Structure 1
Amino acid sequence: MTALPIDDAVPDLLTALRGPGVAVLQAPPGAGKTTRVPLAMLEAGLPAEGRIVMLEPRRLAARGAAVRMAEVLGEEVGQTVGYRMRGDTKVSKTTRIEVVTEGILTRMLQSDPELTGIGALIFDEFHERSLNADLGLALAWEVRGALRPEMLVLVMSATLDAEPVARMLDAPVVTSDGRSFPVDLRWLDKPVPKGVWFDTAMADLLVQAASETKGGILAFLPGEGEIRRVQAALDGRLPRHVRVQPLYGALPFTAQRAAVSPLAEGRKLVLATSIAETALTIQDVRVVVDGGQARRARFDPGRGMSRLVTERVTRAEATQRAGRAGRVAPGVCYRLWTKGEEGGLLAFPPPEIVTADLCGLALELALWGVAGTDDLALLTAPPEGGLDEARALLRDLGALDASGSITEHGRRLAALPLHPRLAHMLESAGPSGAEMAALLNERDPLRGEGCDLALRLTALKRPRGNPGLERIASEAKRLARLARGTGGDLSPAEMAALAYPDRVGLRRPGDDPRWLLSGGTGAQMDAADPLAGSRLIVATDLDGRGREARIRQAVALTEAELRSLYSDRIAWHDVCRWSKRHRRVEARRHEMFGALVLDDRVWKTPPAEAYASALLDAARDVGLPWNDRARRLQSRIELLRAQGADLPDCSDDGLMTALGDWLYPHLLGRRSLEGLDLSAAILSRLDWAQQQDLDRLAPSDFETPLGRKVPVDYAGGVPGIEVRLQEMFGVTRHPTVGPERLPLRVTLLSPARRPVQVTTDLPGFWANSYADVRKDMRGQYPKHPWPEDPTQADPTLRAKPRK
């Protein structure tokens, strides 16, 4: 065998495995850990009994690793070295090293927690932090601690900081420096101009790289769509000897192998997704062109939807990609960003467990028998909100009971190689649901041809010539063999509704194709789509963006189908509520499925309590029906509160905060807020003793010497009255209010009721300013009394009697 950089670290690694039986191996890409370590363990007699199972995050890497190790041994795959993945297995009784994909390891652990016949577990490419790898390691570590202390556990990583996982496992770290040739990093001189498409900029950079370098070229793009568009943009722009080959996960295995194998002649340009970052070695690559983008799944638990987002690469990913150019010789890496932009890159990509749909994880945890994740050796805990949403969906699917324990139905779902939604559909529909399950589990084979799933199911009957359809048809046959029962005669729409009970959509009023989904969120589609006029749909694929997700795949559903499928979930709900739009209380009877109103009728006899609650919402929306009397009462109470009185908060904010406590009883039996005696309602907040104190300390009226009651205005915190000057004759003590005896602001009026003087010291006014006022007023109002000493005069509202 050709010497590899990892060879120097193998002795220390074997020593660690012979000792504590657990180790963390840190080695850069290209060191040879994936193919060399399992063979070295086997040659050293590790484990003493049982086979080695190595976990690989990707199917291509798993199959490629098994093939390479078998070649080293001079054997066919399936003898000493084999692999096992969904829909493709090559193992035998003689197999000692088995390379498996992530879902397979989880099933091994759940079906046989003792992992009978397995002596060692290797977690390769752990730095990718896939959810299944995190879960698999946590479950395996629990098995080792409780049942299999002799089982060897090895975690291998390329770029991950090994210390956290080493601390979690209490394991030694073995490091291989690897071997890499220098890579010349080349950045853009200036950022890609606004308005220039990514595909165009990437194609231009690839043409430049091809003209300035020699050797194979590996370009990193975020997804299959970008690969196809860049490939089209390169048409006719490259020398004839340059052969363009795509590389992404959905490609047939033969095409993937062709992309990673050396060419007999000519120069290769591989347009790849992140699948080429690790675990794969493309031998003749000397040049890397990094588009600087990565596609990740993001799950929004509030919307219950996952979506693929295109984000900037992290520094760790960029370093990993650049290293591909220096595997076997000095290389060059072109980056589609400037050196200055590099400072804005994040250090590492987020672990999948914090961004992904946690429905599968929640089901696996329930099957394992744990209520939470605190007792599991998870390097990163999942977000509780996402886990709660996942469990809610599982209860909706019947996989968990009300207590959160797994049901028999849930156990059957966990055994199927599908998302719990699709597993529930297949379990309910039987083999007839296999095509729908396979179609919904794979990428859209007819992208850009409308949203209708029925079109895709029809195309699936004749899949020849379309690699995507052929792959789905093959998977459907496999799923049909796994399905149980008959499931009855369900339509495609009913099957989709079984998988997505929260995504049944009812068209909103108006011309635009917009739907309210049964889960409470919104969705829309292109107006030209044939499904745009459908009243009811099931949205099976959405992009999850914005306030209303864009529908990518859906199927039309009839109301009869919905009622047949979910009759137990459709029920009448009486609704009496305030309509902000129509500014009135609406009492309706709604027949509902989730958030959808299938039928709407008038509720003729809503109870008083329901109407009163709706009027409370009206008050919150439009405000309280204030009048002068109620405002004066509010001001009286607030004046005393400001002076330290123990009274309830009757400020605007205080009243609104406690609205249900004081206003609700006064709304019983009413049909509107008009005519409401708000003063009586506010006064009801005070007990009898408080009302007595209010009337004594902050009376609503001031009684003049003539016995006439004048309203006291308490607005602005300075209480005041307006009264005719002659009516205050004889008053020698200024009127006050409140426990602090706050002087009233008295506005003295002329006989024509015009303000003459404003005072808070009436005796002082009589003694000082009155003489000047008397002098002015006698001429203007000679028929009214203006005595020299008003303190000794009788109050009056009359003019002098005629002589």
Structure 2
Amino acid sequence: MSDLPVTSILPDLANALATRGMAVLQAPPGAGKTTVVPLDLLARGLVTGRMIMLEPRRLAARAAAERMAETLGERVGQTVGYRIRGEAKISSATRIEVVTEGILTRMIQSDPELAGTGLVIFDEFHERSLNADLGLALCLEVRGALREDLKLLVMSATLDAAPVAALMGGAPVVTSEGRAFPVDTRWLPRPPDPSMRLEAVVADAVKAALAETEGGMLVFLPGEAEIRRVEAMLAGLPGVAVRPLFGAMDFTAQRAALAPVEGRKVVLATSIAETSLTLPDIRVVVDSGRARRARFDPNSGMSRLVTERVTRAEAEQRRGRAGRVWPGVCYRLWTKGEEGGLAPFPPAEIEVADLAGLALELALWGGADLPFLTPPPAGPLAEARSLLMGLGALDERGHITAHGRTLAGLPLHPRLAHMLAVAGPEAATLAALLAERDPLRGAPPDLTLRMQAVARPGPEADRGVIERIRAEARRLAAAARSIEGAPPRPSLPHEGEGRRAMERGGTADPGASLPPRGGGTERGGDAAGYSLAEMAALAYPDRIGLRRKGEAPRWVLSGGKGAAMAPGLPLSGARLIVATDLGGDARETTIRQAVAISEAEVRRLHGDRIRWVEVCEWSRREGRVLARRQERLGALVLDDRPWDAPPEAVARAALDGVRLLGLPWTPAARRLRARARLARGADWPGVEDADLLASAEDWLLPHLTGIRTEADLRGFDLLPALQAHLGWDRLAEMDRLVPGHFETPLGRKIPIDYEGEVPSIEVRLQEMFGVTVHPAVGQDRMPLRITLLSPAQRPVQVTTDLPRFWATSYADVRKDMRGAYPRHPWPEDPTQAEPTLRAKPRGT
């Protein structure tokens, strides 16, 4: 151990923890922090009680515990042990316990004091797993409110330590420079042929690297499927042992990837091998440049695995694997020019993952105001809480229920935990199947085929996946039986268990009572259990699908989204389905896995949620008001009948049509609006379309009685409604300031055009004789634009200053017009002449 780089900073780290109680350790991969630091702190006697070290992966947790136990010359389970999902090796003598998979969260929720624990270590925190973020937030709150003596240590390979240290109240940062040998980085000279699959590109690169280099090789691929395909392509290479490495493998197979071999070894790994594992003898890295992450889509309420380009930080981590023990070589399967387009860091899991589990833990704890390094995004968190309310885990105020406390204690997504808690052990196989990857990839999307494959796997089934499903099903069945056999415990108040326990200085009671089988729905004494479809509908109440009209296999889901599948599949004709796996476009997603369900089963299971709803709405498709009485389950319409809606409901639906189609302006209404724009005072309502539509419920709705179709709207006279909206006092004020007509000296009323840039009129020149003040309108007395017409009604002059026209341009107009219109008066001084429309008699 003494030759590992981290040993040089151990005294500083121990001093920081002894004096401040918290610290952040920065140490690059291979520095020895995972296995050296806990043992050193134990040897110094710095920690009273046990240490808990959180690892983001099960393989890393096992490997770290085994390595530390080996260093002590002991078996795992003595001084050093581990506890992961479904497996624990600890004893009363255990002082260092390596945990993962949310184990730390369960420990804190059950015992907020963390009695007997002196130090919590967060290893590989740079991976920013959701469990690590939540665990650190909980520990900080526990330390601040209940356990001032609880020591906290965050260890990271690449993370910027400053924000974490600040979150921890200015904790000291200790840095180990580490040790790394030079790595020769080689890029592709040009992008790969787009027609080649990723696996073929990787296999070719591995063969080339084997010919050019020496030593063990680590190949990074996105997931198991790609690993298996590359493994097949490399099979039979002389003197080369190909070893896959991914999280879902059994531990024996994982050990084989870590163990030395005769000849050369090629390890095909996912991102699991980036930082948290020590692989001996690796001198060459081949990086496919791809990583697989879970992404949550708040529009669809679903998470799905997506394959993305690696970030620069991930690429550097992978590259560093080649230089841990000797100088190495890294082959990057992209061009050097593409490197600048890589994102700098991967997102924190809390930013992109499904937050249903987190929302449940926060409700159980009693609040969401925990000190997170990255706060959970509001949209996905709201979606998660909505789902939990639908499952009965939260009440209408968002507080955890007794059923929710039970779900939090099950090692499953809340959907599947709800199904298992309600349906019992019979749902264990389906829960394990839905939590695992598809054992029948490429098969039709019928869930019954998967259940049959678990029971009797055929040649097309993935045997490794089937075995994992069976093992997990046995474990979940035992968990369900323990729930059924547990004596009822009193439900606690809605306040969070953990936070309330801290306030009263005690420990949390994780027990909870369950709702009746069927989620509270009476099943008529049916003791036969639940069908496959009913169990799926328990887990996915928002994904019960009702087939749309038409030939295409398309469904509307109870949660409101659309879904479709390819035609001609066994389920494509089903009227009702439960979709258990969806992907693709959020507006109309693709059904990748589903099961048919009968209406009787839907009613039996979710009858308490089915409601008769009277709907009167504007149909965009039909361009009219539709009034129906519908029996609904969420967005599903199970029964639909005509409804004689009251006039007010019809008018409201017509108003929605107005909002969709726009206000039905008539010429008279437009003129009134134009006048209102000029006369508008401080207390006048807005008359632009946006203003009028925003307040339409107040002024327009009473006038829409009897409007049912788009044709009715087109024929609707908007003027009376707009006049009523302005009010008679304002109309009178408008008539005074912005009259609808201009009265000439002869008493003739000429309409004022307010639709142009400025108000304007057209009038015969002789009719304006004697006018010495230019007419104006509006609050600001805007001059009218007057188009003066000849006796033949043709424009001869446009003016906004009539006195100036009389004094200047009129003389030229008079000279031109006298010859053309000799029978009409053209006085030298028009300001003193009488207005007239008459012509001189002929011959005079």
Aligned residue in 1 for 2:820: 776
- The 3 A distance-change label for structure 1 pair 746 and 198 is same
Count the aligned residue pairs.
784
Contact kept in structure 2, 1:632 and 1:713, CA below 8 Å: yes
Distance 1:524 1:107 in 2: 39
Contact kept in structure 1, 2:287 and 2:318, CA below 8 Å: yes
Distance 1:249 1:794 in 2: 100
Residues 235-250 of structure 1 aligned to structure 2 (within 5 Å): 235=235, 239-250=237-248
Aligned residue in 1 for 2:656: 617
Distance 2:276 2:768 in 1: 104
Secondary structure in structure 2 of the residue aligned to 1:219: strand
Residues 656-695 of structure 1 aligned to structure 2 (within 5 Å): 656-671=693-708, 672-695=712-735
Residues 269-280 of structure 1 aligned to structure 2 (within 5 Å): 269-280=266-277
Distance 1:583 1:310 in 2: 43
Contact kept in structure 1, 2:53 and 2:121, CA below 8 Å: yes
Distance 2:57 2:610 in 1: 43
- The 3 A distance-change label for structure 1 pair 678 and 451 is same
The structural deviation recorded for 1:532 is 2.4
Aligned residue in 2 for 1:553: 593
Aligned residue in 1 for 2:301: 304
- The 3 A distance-change label for structure 1 pair 407 and 657 is closer
Distance 2:564 2:321 in 1: 42
- The 3 A distance-change label for structure 1 pair 715 and 319 is closer
Aligned residue in 1 for 2:675: 636
Distance 2:278 2:798 in 1: 96
Q: Is it true that 1:261 corresponds to 2:235 in the alignment?
A: no
- The 3 A distance-change label for structure 1 pair 257 and 601 is same
The one of 772, 775, 798 aligned to 1:736: 775
The structural deviation recorded for 1:414 is 0.6
Q: After alignment, is 528-537 or 402-411 more displaced?
A: 528-537
The one of 562, 573, 592 aligned to 2:632: 592
Secondary structure in structure 2 of the residue aligned to 1:84: strand
Contact kept in structure 2, 1:718 and 1:745, CA below 8 Å: no
Distance 1:223 1:706 in 2: 92
Q: Is it true that 1:607 corresponds to 2:643 in the alignment?
A: no
Aligned residue in 2 for 1:182: 182
- The 3 A distance-change label for structure 1 pair 677 and 367 is same
Contact kept in structure 2, 1:306 and 1:544, CA below 8 Å: no
Q: Specify the code of the residue in structure 2 equivalent to 1:24.
A: V
Q: Is it true that 1:467 corresponds to 2:467 in the alignment?
A: no
The structural deviation recorded for 1:130 is 0.8
Q: Specify the code of the residue in structure 1 equivalent to 2:416.
A: L
Distance 2:21 2:660 in 1: 67
Aligned residue in 1 for 2:488: none
- Aligned-CA RMSD value: 3.1
- The 3 A distance-change label for structure 1 pair 776 and 19 is closer
Q: Is it true that 1:745 corresponds to 2:786 in the alignment?
A: yes
Contact kept in structure 2, 1:217 and 1:286, CA below 8 Å: yes
The structural deviation recorded for 1:560 is 1.9
The one of 573, 581, 584 aligned to 2:613: 573
Q: Which whole-Å deviations, capped at 9, do the CAs of 1:425-475 have from their partners, x for residues lacking one? A: 111111111111111111222222122211111112235971111111111
Q: Percent identity?
A: 60
Distance 1:543 1:794 in 2: 81
Distance 2:215 2:683 in 1: 87
Q: Specify the code of the residue in structure 1 equivalent to 2:353.
A: A
- The 3 A distance-change label for structure 1 pair 250 and 737 is same
Contact kept in structure 1, 2:625 and 2:653, CA below 8 Å: yes
Q: Is it true that 1:366 corresponds to 2:363 in the alignment?
A: yes
Secondary structure in structure 1 of the residue aligned to 2:572: helix
- The 3 A distance-change label for structure 1 pair 756 and 67 is closer
Contact kept in structure 2, 1:426 and 1:433, CA below 8 Å: yes
The structural deviation recorded for 1:709 is 4.7
Aligned residue in 1 for 2:249: 251
Contact kept in structure 1, 2:770 and 2:834, CA below 8 Å: no
Q: Which whole-Å deviations, capped at 9, do the CAs of 1:610-669 have from their partners, x for residues lacking one? A: 22222223223333333332233233333445xx79754434554445433432222234
The structural deviation recorded for 1:732 is 5.4
Aligned residue in 2 for 1:323: 320
Aligned residue in 2 for 1:696: 736
Contact kept in structure 2, 1:286 and 1:325, CA below 8 Å: yes
Aligned residue in 2 for 1:43: 43
- The 3 A distance-change label for structure 1 pair 801 and 83 is same
Secondary structure in structure 2 of the residue aligned to 1:530: coil
The structural deviation recorded for 1:733 is 6.2
Contact kept in structure 1, 2:300 and 2:586, CA below 8 Å: no
Q: Which whole-Å deviations, capped at 9, do the CAs of 1:78-105 have from their partners, x for residues lacking one? A: 2332221111122223333222113111
The structural deviation recorded for 1:68 is 2.3
Q: After alignment, is 276-285 or 32-41 more displaced?
A: 32-41
The structural deviation recorded for 1:275 is 0.7
- The 3 A distance-change label for structure 1 pair 387 and 623 is closer
Q: Which whole-Å deviations, capped at 9, do the CAs of 1:487-524 have from their partners, x for residues lacking one? A: 66222222122212222222333333333222222333
- The 3 A distance-change label for structure 1 pair 745 and 430 is same
Aligned residue in 2 for 1:95: 94
Distance 1:52 1:722 in 2: 94
The one of 527, 532, 536 aligned to 2:567: 527
Q: After alignment, is 298-307 or 527-536 more displaced?
A: 527-536
Q: Specify the code of the residue in structure 2 equivalent to 1:82.
A: G
- The 3 A distance-change label for structure 1 pair 682 and 167 is closer
Gaps of 5+ in 2: 485-516, 519-526
TM-score, normalising length: structure 1: 0.90
Distance 2:372 2:673 in 1: 59
Distance 2:43 2:765 in 1: 116
Contact kept in structure 1, 2:235 and 2:242, CA below 8 Å: no
Q: Which whole-Å deviations, capped at 9, do the CAs of 1:775-796 have from their partners, x for residues lacking one? A: 4346xxxxxx746769878957
Distance 2:771 2:14 in 1: 108
Distance 2:375 2:22 in 1: 22
Secondary structure in structure 2 of the residue aligned to 1:318: helix
The structural deviation recorded for 1:28 is 1.9
Contact kept in structure 1, 2:34 and 2:123, CA below 8 Å: yes
Contact kept in structure 1, 2:60 and 2:277, CA below 8 Å: yes
Distance 1:721 1:17 in 2: 88
- The 3 A distance-change label for structure 1 pair 755 and 34 is same
Aligned residue in 1 for 2:434: 440
Distance 1:757 1:653 in 2: 40
Aligned residue in 1 for 2:521: none
Distance 2:402 2:83 in 1: 27
Residues 265-414 of structure 1 aligned to structure 2 (within 5 Å): 265-369=262-366, 371-373=367-369, 376-414=370-408
Distance 2:690 2:739 in 1: 24
Aligned residue in 2 for 1:122: 121
Q: Which whole-Å deviations, capped at 9, do the CAs of 1:265-294 have from their partners, x for residues lacking one? A: 222111100111122122122111111111
Contact kept in structure 2, 1:787 and 1:793, CA below 8 Å: no
- The 3 A distance-change label for structure 1 pair 710 and 251 is same
Distance 1:362 1:462 in 2: 38
Q: Is it true that 1:496 corresponds to 2:540 in the alignment?
A: no
Q: Which whole-Å deviations, capped at 9, do the CAs of 1:541-574 have from their partners, x for residues lacking one? A: 2235453333222222222222222222222222
The structural deviation recorded for 1:479 is 0.9
Aligned residue in 1 for 2:512: none
Secondary structure in structure 1 of the residue aligned to 2:533: helix
Contact kept in structure 2, 1:55 and 1:100, CA below 8 Å: yes
Distance 2:685 2:12 in 1: 76
Contact kept in structure 1, 2:761 and 2:784, CA below 8 Å: no
- The 3 A distance-change label for structure 1 pair 82 and 718 is closer
